[in-house]
Structure formats: C-alpha cells, structure tokens
C-alpha cells in the first residue's frame, strides 16, 4: 500500500488532484486508514496509469471515467488505442518540428498550413470514445446505475464478490460440476439484474477478464482464494458450451 504522498511523488500528480479524482469517483483509494488517510494498492496504480495516458491525449475527465468504468472495458484494447493515438501525436509533433526548422534554415516564408492539421488525431480519438460509449451493455449499465449512492455501489460489489467466494469453495471440483455451474448461473443473473444484460457471449468475455491477472482477478482471488479467477473462467467456458 502507498500513501497519497507517495503516489503523488511517484506519478507526478498533485495531492489535490488525487483527492479530486477520489471525490468524483475516478480513482478511489484501495482503503482509508482509521485517520482517514488514503491508501493505494497496485490495482489503483494501474487505473491511475490508464487515467494519465488518457489525460496525455487530452480526454476530459468525465470521458475517461466513462471509459474505465465501462463494463466492456478491455485494458489491452485501451492500450492499443492509446499507443496509436500517441504515435499519431508524435508524428504530428515531428512534422511541426521539421517545418519550423525548415523555416529557420531557409529564412523565407513558407505558406503551407497543412502541417498544422491534426484532424487525423481528432478523428481517431473520436472513434475511440464512441467505441467505449455506444455499446448496448454500457447504456444498460448507465440506466441501471442511475441514482445509486456510493454505499449502494459498495454493497452491490460486496454481494457480487460473495458469489466468487462461493465459487472458491468448489474450485477443487471440476469446472463443469453441478455446483460450479449453478454458481456461474447466479453470477450471470446477478450481472443482468444489477449491471447490464449478460448473455453467454458477454459472460465469456468477462470470464477472460476474470482470469487475465488484472484488477478483476485480484479481487476475485481475494474473495475466493488464489486460483478462483482462473477457475471461474474454466467454469464459465463449460457453462457457455
């Protein structure tokens, strides 16, 4: 765990900014001390990296929150998009530098304004934002989460993790056992009721995330014991067949 001061120094983000991110729900600490100090774990730091990459690309905070909170959020896909956008931005800056140097070297006028055109970057960024914000699952998620308080969200997440705690109790059984399959059905129903309609295709995609080694895996393994995330994926694959 790291304190807010340590995170501020490591990430180059002011303490006030981190406090603001917490207030708007963009970056919540892993926990708070009894004195109310913020503590951040590796999962929170991974999320901060995503936020800062999107900030480098000048995404508004609300849009960043919408993207990273999206139930379809795929870290690898986001990184691919960020790499592409950063590459386009790098090429744009290199063209501007070359243009300025040419003017300095020739000492003359160069009536060419095409080098200032960044429409390619804007178009790609627009497309990326639309991909995250226009999915049916996300629209369903927005509708079902409307009006929920932070306490409501906390309770929903706690109840959801209890299902993985149950799954952890049978993780030494076969993934296609009746007990495991029954719990997978409970997970699917819970997601559909409280978050968004979870068909088998979406469930299978979530199963991959549960075993990917990221934030989902850490939380699931914390609830059901080491290996629960991987077992959940195998049980989901069996269920979706």
Secondary structure in 3-state letters for 24-73: CCCCCCCEECCCCCEEECHHHHHHHHHHHHHHHCCCCHHHHHHHHCCCCC
Least confident among 53-57, 173-177, 197-201:
53-57
In total, how many domains does the chain have? 3
Give yes or no: residues 128 and 155 share one domain.
no
Instruction: Read off the CATH number of the domain in which 16 is found.
Output: 1.10.1660.10
Least confident among 6-15, 50-59, 132-141, 213-222:
132-141
The answer as to whether 79 is a domain residue is yes
User: Stretch 136-163: mean pLDDT, rounded?
Assistant: 80
Give yes or no: residues 108 and 186 share one domain.
no
Question: Are 75 and 35 in contact, with CB atoms under 8 Å apart?
Answer: no
Give yes or no: residues 103 and 52 share one domain.
no
The answer as to whether 63 is a domain residue is no
Q: Give me the pLDDT at residue 180, please.
A: 95
| Percent over 90 (pLDDT), the chain | 29
More confident residue, 131 or 221: 221
Beta bridge partners of 32: 38
Give yes or no: residues 80 and 121 share one domain.
yes
3-state secondary structure of 170: coil
Question: Are 201 and 180 in contact, with CB atoms under 8 Å apart?
Answer: no
In which domain, by residue range, is 27 found? 2-56
Q: Give me the pLDDT at residue 129, please.
A: 65
Residue with tokens 């691919």: 80
Q: Give me the pLDDT at residue 189, please.
A: 94
* Token output for 107: 């000492």
Give yes or no: residues 25 and 97 share one domain.
no
More confident residue, 115 or 182: 182
Least confident among 3-17, 40-54, 133-147, 172-186:
133-147
The answer as to whether 68 is a domain residue is no
More confident residue, 68 or 164: 164
Question: Could you give the strand order of the β-sheet that contains 2-3, starting from the edge strand earlier in sequence?
Answer: 2-3, 38-40, 31-32
Q: Give me the pLDDT at residue 146, please.
A: 75
Q: What are the DSSP calls for 190-228, one per residue?
A: HHHHHTS---HHHHHHHHHHHTSSSHHHHHHHHHH-TTH
Residue with tokens 């991959």: 208
Question: Are 165 and 221 in contact, with CB atoms under 8 Å apart?
Answer: no
The answer as to whether 173 is a domain residue is yes
pLDDT tens digits, one per residue of 86-143? 888 888 888 888 888 887 787 766 666 777 777 777 777 777 666 665 556 666 666 7
More confident residue, 209 or 165: 165
Residues 6+ apart with CB under 8 A from 115: 95, 96, 99
Distance CA 72, CA 158 (A): 20
The answer as to whether 62 is a domain residue is no
Give yes or no: residues 189 and 214 share one domain.
yes
The answer as to whether 34 is a domain residue is yes
Q: Give me the pLDDT at residue 136, please.
A: 61
Question: Are 235 and 181 in contact, with CB atoms under 8 Å apart?
Answer: yes
DSSP-derived letter for residue 114 is: G
């Amino acid at each position: 765990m790291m304190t807010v001061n340590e995170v501020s120094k490591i990430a180059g983000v002011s303490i006030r900014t981190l406090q603001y991110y917490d207030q708007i729900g963009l970056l919540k600490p892993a926990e708070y001390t009894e004195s109310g100090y913020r503590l951040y774990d590796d999962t929170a730091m991974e999320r901060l990296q995503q936020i800062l990459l999107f900030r480098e690309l000048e995404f508004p905070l609300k849009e960043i929150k919408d993207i990273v909170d999206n139930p379809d959020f795929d870290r690898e896909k986001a990184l691919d998009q960020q790499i592409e956008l950063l590459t386009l931005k790098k090429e744009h800056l290199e063209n501007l530098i070359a243009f300025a140097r040419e003017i300095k070297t020739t000492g003359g006028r160069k009536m060419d304004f095409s080098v200032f055109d960044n429409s390619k970057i804007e178009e790609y960024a627009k497309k990326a934002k639309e991909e995250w914000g226009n999915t049916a699952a996300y629209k369903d998620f927005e509708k079902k989460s409307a009006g929920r308080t932070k306490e409501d969200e906390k309770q929903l997440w706690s109840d959801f993790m209890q299902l993985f705690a149950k799954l952890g109790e049978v993780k030494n059984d076969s993934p296609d056992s009746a007990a495991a399959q029954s719990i997978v059905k409970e997970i699917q129903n819970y997601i559909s009721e409280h978050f968004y309609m979870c068909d088998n295709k979406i469930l299978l995609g979530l199963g991959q995330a549960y075993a990917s080694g990221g934030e989902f895996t850490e939380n699931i393994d914390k609830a059901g014991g080491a290996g629960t995330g991987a077992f959940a994926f195998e049980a989901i694959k069996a269920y979706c067949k």
